[in-house]
Amino acid sequence: MALDLLPVVSATGGACCTPLTRDAITEQAAVGLSQVLKALADPARLRLLSLIASHDGAEACVCDLTEPVGLSQPTVSHHLKVLVDAGLVTRDKRGVWAYYALVPGALDAVTHQLGTHLTAGAAS
Amino acid sequence: MALDLLPVVSATGGACCTPLTRDAITEQAAVGLSQVLKALADPARLRLLSLIASHDGAEACVCDLTEPVGLSQPTVSHHLKVLVDAGLVTRDKRGVWAYYALVPGALDAVTHQLGTHLTAGAAS
């Protein structure tokens, strides 16, 4: 049994440990960030988001999204709903078509949080 | 039944559609990116990564990671293995302890891909 699978009796001090340079992400922030990352963590949803981003004005008609991803219309609609629910895109029904647009700044907020909390802090 | 749930007979041209300003992410790149995002998309793993990043030199002993996340040692070891397998951290056994360190540039590569493929392209 590897030692790192044993319960830790004392986790403070000792030669094993390096000092903290800043606070880690809070539990609440981690839950919020993980929810948006779960929405992103699917190949079809990444391709749909990228297709929307690739259209002029970062807005695309649903009629332009189904064929490129090679999935059925209901499956595409399900994935788009996950992206809407995560706050990454908006849905706007105009006439006979639904249009999906990137929410400005939504993905920047994700990458900012990743960069702030998950990259190396300053060395002491 | 919403019209956008009906099969699309013709998805080319027409007043509904905005032009493309660039190519979307490839299917292969989307699969690779989604795998790393799946590893990130968990509150405990985000907290573990953030804790590692918060330690001097972006390296932490496993003995310093269990208590802050409030999970059992086997659960923490499982989450750390997911992060290692995703290429986000390395594991180094030195003496009696295992040390986990951020892989330099790994998270930057993720945020770069998100920024490149999923944010708005230039307007035409």
Domains of chain A: 27-118 (1.10.10.10)
Instruction: Give the per-residue pLDDT at A121.
Output: 64
Instruction: Give the per-residue pLDDT at A106.
Output: 94
Picking from B71, B33, B24, B74, the residue whose alpha carbon sits closest to that of residue B51 is: B71
Phi, psi of B17 (to 5 degrees): -110, 140
Residue B14 has pLDDT above 60, yes or no: no
Phi, psi of A5 (to 5 degrees): -95, -5
Picking from A124, A115, A122, A119, the residue whose alpha carbon sits closest to that of residue A19 is: A124
- Tell me what percent of the residues of chain B surpass a pLDDT of 90: 72
Look up residue A19 and give its two tokens. 């000092």
Nearest to B11 among A40, A63, A77 (CB): A63
Instruction: Give the per-residue pLDDT at A19.
Output: 79
Contacts of A55 in chain B (CB under 8 A): 18-21
**Do B86 and B39 form a contact (C-beta atoms < 8 A)?**
yes
Q: How far apart are CA B18 and CA B100, in angstroms?
A: 47
Q: How far apart are CA A2 and CA B93, in angstroms?
A: 10
Contacts of B38 in chain A (CB under 8 A): 41
Nearest to B30 among A43, A66, A115 (CB): A43
CB contact under 8 A, B120 and A53: yes
Task: Please tell me the distance in Å from B108's CA to the nearest CA on chain A.
Answer: 8
Residue B9 has pLDDT above 50, yes or no: no
Task: Please tell me the distance in Å from A85's CA to the nearest CA on chain B.
Answer: 16
| pLDDT tens digit sequence for B61-92 | 999 999 999 999 999 999 999 999 999 999 99
| pLDDT tens digit sequence for B99-113 | 999 999 999 999 999
Which residue ranges in chain A fall short of pLDDT 50?
1-15, 122-124
Residue B6 has pLDDT above 80, yes or no: no
Residue B16 has pLDDT above 90, yes or no: no
Instruction: Give the per-residue pLDDT at B23.
Output: 84
